[in-house]
Structure 1
């Protein structure tokens, strides 16, 4: 009698154990700790401004169709703010810069990023202070933050376009944020160049 009653309990326990293991694997995705995603985005740039060659003795307001535009000076990028990434939940290094392109658009650039891979990693601009150690792990969702999307890769150089209407006033830090566990992998305080 015990053998008959014991089999359904063993089968049910095994099924529950397998189900829980699958949920745990999906939730934590531990294999990502051994898989690196490297991204090599080029430094953003805009096309150089062009102007037509002057037409001698041409009436004002007319253009000569044979004129070819010539390039003016190469466009320059302007660094609005930058900082070095520090480690939080996972070892993290690299730099973060907010760059204004010649066309007026802005982008967040991560250079030489090196952090752990993980589930549901995001790039956030925030108003939170960057704190060393465990005190800094959970502060970035306490105030104002703007998600720039999923982290493209845990290593390399990458660009994240900023919304055109985004007011950067008060957004003083960037975090590599694990949205699944509400924890910062690493962060950088952004300061304007002197």
Structure 2
């Protein structure tokens, strides 16, 4: 697992207010789960994909935190299981066609949810990453493992 080479702290709860719905996982079966590892910036927490009301939701847990240094951060699904290990430091840039953007990151910290469109085949994606589009830098990533 790569170690952060910067001395910058990851975000704290005061970094950006979160105006998002609470996680839905308590009543929903978990399909996939993973833990974030550092990329260009410290990133921590868990991610899971659950089925809720016929749809699929990507959830970041309460422990999720990443650097506030990103001007253009997105939550993406990536085709490779080890985004950090298969890309080059320090930015860990990704290649077009290897990922799909779900949505802009809503908050640097805490629980948050993102809908996964029905036209996305989860069998084609093996990880979740927090990615800075402007600088093509992967802040952190989590390999998705099947649950159940």
Please state if 1:88 is matched with 2:32: no
- What does 1:91-102 align with in structure 2 at a 5 Å threshold? 91-101=42-52
The answer (yes or no) to whether the contact 2:87–2:94 under 8 Å persists in 1 is no
1:100 to 1:190, Cα distance in 2 relative to 1, 3 A: same
**1:42 and 2:17 correspond:** no
Q: Establish whether residue 173 from structure 1 lines up as the match of residue 109 from structure 2.
A: no
Q: Counterpart of 2:80 in 1: which secondary structure?
A: coil
SS of the aligned residue for 1:155 comes to coil
What's the counterpart of residue 6 of structure 2?
none
Gapped regions of structure 1 (runs ≥ 5): 1-32, 46-74
| 119, 129, 145: which one aligns with 2:81 | 129
Verify: 1:193 aligned to 2:124, yes or no: no
Contact 2:34 2:47 in 1 (8 A): yes
Q: What is the CA distance between 1:87 and its match in structure 2?
A: 0.5
For 1:103-122, list aligned pairs within 5 A: 103-111=53-61, 112-117=63-68, 118-122=70-74
What SS does the aligned partner of 2:122 have? coil
Output the CA distance in 1 between the equivalents of 2:138 and 2:39.
6
Contact 1:140 1:175 in 2 (8 A): no
* Pair 1:128–1:142, CA change in 2 (3 A): farther
Q: Which has the larger radius of gyration?
A: 1
More helix by share: 1
TM-score, length-scaled by structure 2: 0.78
Q: Deviations over 1:73-100 (max 9, x none)?
A: xx94111100000001111100110110
Contact 1:127–1:144 (CA under 8 A) maintained in structure 2: yes
Q: 1:104 to 1:95 in 2, by over 3 A?
A: same
- Indicate the SS of the match to 2:111: strand
Structure 2: runs of 5+ lacking an equivalent:
1-10
Q: 1:81–1:120: structure 2 CA closer, same or farther, 3 Å change rule?
A: same
